[in-house]
Amino acid sequence: MTRMFQLLILSVLDYGLGCLTLSEANLLKLERLQNEAMRAVLGCTRDTHIICMRFLLDLSSVRIRHKLAQAKTYLRVMENPHHPLYPSLLTQKGTRIKRGKSWMAEAEDSIKLVCPIEDIIDGREWIKTGPEQTALTKVIITMGRDRRECAAAVTEQDIRQLIHDNSKRHDPIIYTDGSVKRGIQSGWGFVCYSENRVIHEESGAAATTTSSMKMEIEAITKALEWIKLTRPTTTHAVFLTDSQSALKKIECGFMRMEWMTAIRPTAISSITWIFCPGHAGVKGNERADKLAGNATVNGTLRLDKQEVLNALSEHLRNAEDTAAEDQQAIKRMIELGVRKGEGRGRQLVGKDRRVHNQVLTGTVNLDTLRCVLQRGAEHQALLLNYQDHSRQRALQADCTEGYIRQYRHDDDDDDDDDDDDDDDDDDDDDDDDDDDDDDDDDDDDDDDDDDDDDDDDDGQRDSHIFKSLKRQM
């Protein structure tokens, strides 16, 4: 059902969305279409808040989707200098009489919420190297992250052996690392060895939250720029990094545009890239990590286009969540352990899907309530078995309350029926004049004993309910 929603609804909404300028009325129509589709997919009630359904499916509002689509299209134009719209990036953006700004002007306004346009890397970030540049992309990965469990001296010795086998005496040996402190800063650092001694180390940071891979790339870029300025006659260099993502990209024959810009003026003809597991006790890596973590903000950072989109998406979503009226609904779902996008991965269908999603959002219809009460704790444990222990305790308490209320209600109905039967029996006794007084006394004694037994049964039943629910949960 979720797959069908993506193919039939979201694909239609997203088609050409980036090049459109939409009025407020059009946005509301598209928003209504998405809301009804989410309600049909999840099986939620009319009272379920929209932000809860978005949380379950990890979706943005149409307004945010529109802004992100515009920014994505703008950055795609920015990436290719041969794009027909590329010259328009450098011109003054006009406005339309009816709908205000053009889509490119709206895209620029959105991007400026997270960074200036000039701080975005122009052109392609990664370029494919030719056959003559194969020596620049030699990658060696012989260790894994499990080296963190090994003795530091053993890992250090293995790294030294790899360096010895793949370098010459005067080659620069450079350890790089990146550090990201979310909401604070992103730092980079590198340390260069030659002939077993440190000849240079450098670090820096920007007041921007980005990815650790981006900062690793920044550290490599700064190291290559340092080689260009101080050791332009270098023919071979060895880089040691703990970023497997960057190494896999290099292994596929891709290099960063800024790396190639720094390499061209030098004599570098080959580079060896070695994976060095982080936090495994390797001195060079530990030093680079410390430099990146302690770096002070000393400039701006040119961002990749995907980094800009990620930052813009986070900014817009946070602003929308903050402005939402029903914040308690989301807080309740988070407290219960519901993860964002939970509704995408569940394979439930039909009635189970409807009941499951209504229980998660906290708004249920009468049929769902009846189903939950009938199935009880067993149903909750089956559908919500992914929750942690604390959430299960909360659900157990809720189910116990519901069960006790339901049981006592049924028990009261039984008592009423018993009272009616007793009244009928009394009428029969009054009509029967042939019964003697001794038999009446015996019957009264039996009735008293039955009442005492009923009281005992009530306590035993309550105890039995608690024990049964405890076993089921």
Question: Looking at the predicted structure, is the pLDDT value of residue 466 above 50?
Answer: no
Question: Looking at the predicted structure, is the pLDDT value of residue 205 above 70?
Answer: yes
pLDDT confidence tier of residue 230, bands split at 50, 70 and 90: very high
Question: Cβ of 355: how many Cβ atoms within 10 Å?
Answer: 23
- Say whether both 115 and 131 belong to one domain: no
With both helix axes pointing from N to C terminus, report the angle between 62-79 and 24-42 in degrees, rounded to the nearest 10: 110
Read off φ and ψ for residue 410, nearest 5 degrees: -65, -40
The answer to whether the CB of 211 falls within 8 A of the CB of 237 is no
**pLDDT tens figures, 169-192:** 899 999 999 999 988 999 999 999
- Say whether both 213 and 70 belong to one domain: no
- Say whether both 131 and 202 belong to one domain: yes
Domain with residue 132: its CATH number is 3.30.420.10
- Say whether both 28 and 151 belong to one domain: no
- Say whether both 74 and 183 belong to one domain: no
Q: Are strands 173-181 and 185-194 parallel, antiparallel or unpaired?
A: antiparallel
Q: Identify the top-confidence range among 43-57, 230-244, 305-319.
A: 230-244
Q: What does pLDDT average to over the chain?
A: 80
User: Can you give the pLDDT at residue 326?
Assistant: 64
**pLDDT tens figures, 373-402:** 877 655 555 445 444 444 444 445 455 455
- Say whether both 78 and 220 belong to one domain: no
Q: Which pair of structure tokens corresponds to residue 292? A: 């990146």
Task: Give the number of C-alpha atoms closer than 13 A to the C-alpha of residue 471, restricted to the C-beta side.
Answer: 5
Question: Cβ of 342: how many Cβ atoms within 10 Å?
Answer: 18
Q: Is residue 375 part of a domain?
A: no
pLDDT confidence tier of residue 8, bands split at 50, 70 and 90: low
| Structural domains of the chain, count | 3
**pLDDT tens figures, 41-51:** 889 998 888 88
**pLDDT tens figures, 269-294:** 999 999 999 989 999 999 999 999 99
79, 99, 119 — which closes off a domain?
Answer: 119
Pick the residue with more confidence: 402 or 366? 366
Question: Cβ of 221: how many Cβ atoms within 10 Å?
Answer: 20
Q: Is residue 50 part of a domain?
A: yes
Q: Identify the top-confidence range among 359-373, 393-407, 408-422, 453-467.
A: 359-373
User: Can you give the pLDDT at residue 186?
Assistant: 94
273, 302, 331 — which closes off a domain?
Answer: 302
Q: Give which of 109, 78, 112, 76 is closest to 95, Cα–Cα.
A: 109
Q: Model-level pTM?
A: 0.71
- Say whether both 206 and 271 belong to one domain: yes
- Say whether both 105 and 174 belong to one domain: no
Q: Is residue 414 part of a domain?
A: yes
285, 302, 319 — which closes off a domain?
Answer: 302
- Say whether both 423 and 468 belong to one domain: yes
- Say whether both 10 and 70 belong to one domain: yes
- Say whether both 171 and 249 belong to one domain: yes
Across 17-40, average pLDDT: 88
Question: Looking at the predicted structure, is the pLDDT value of residue 234 above 60?
Answer: yes
**pLDDT tens figures, 134-165:** 999 999 999 988 888 888 899 999 999 999 99
Q: Is residue 466 part of a domain?
A: yes
Max CA pair span of the chain? 128
Pick the residue with more confidence: 17 or 459? 17
**Residues paired with residue 101 on neighbouring β-strands, in sequence order:** 95
User: Which structural domain range is residue 399 located in?
Assistant: 390-472
- Say whether both 134 and 115 belong to one domain: no
